[in-house]
Amino acid sequence: MIHHIRFTPDCSWGEDLEFFFKVMSITNVCYVDEYLTYYRILASGNLSSKYNNTR
């Protein structure tokens, strides 16, 4: 990794936003008018869950 950008180890909320702010602070950013990622909302209402090897 050229700029050594990493997630903060104990960050439990907003880690993706923190990562994007770090990227935007060191490079040029442009707007792309299309969806490039999707969030999966689980039945529990959470955006994520712990990995379960039995699934």
Is the pLDDT confidence value at 51 over 60? no
How far apart are the two ends of the chain, measured CA to CA in Å?
33
For residue 3, give the DSSP letter.
S
5-43 pLDDT, tens digit per residue, is 877 778 777 777 888 888 888 888 888 899 888 777 666
Query: Mapping DSSP to helix (H, G, I), strand (E, B) and coil, where does residue 44 land?
Result: coil
| Domain range enclosing 43 | 1-55
Domain count, the chain: 1
Q: What local confidence, expressed as pLDDT, does residue 42 receive? A: 67
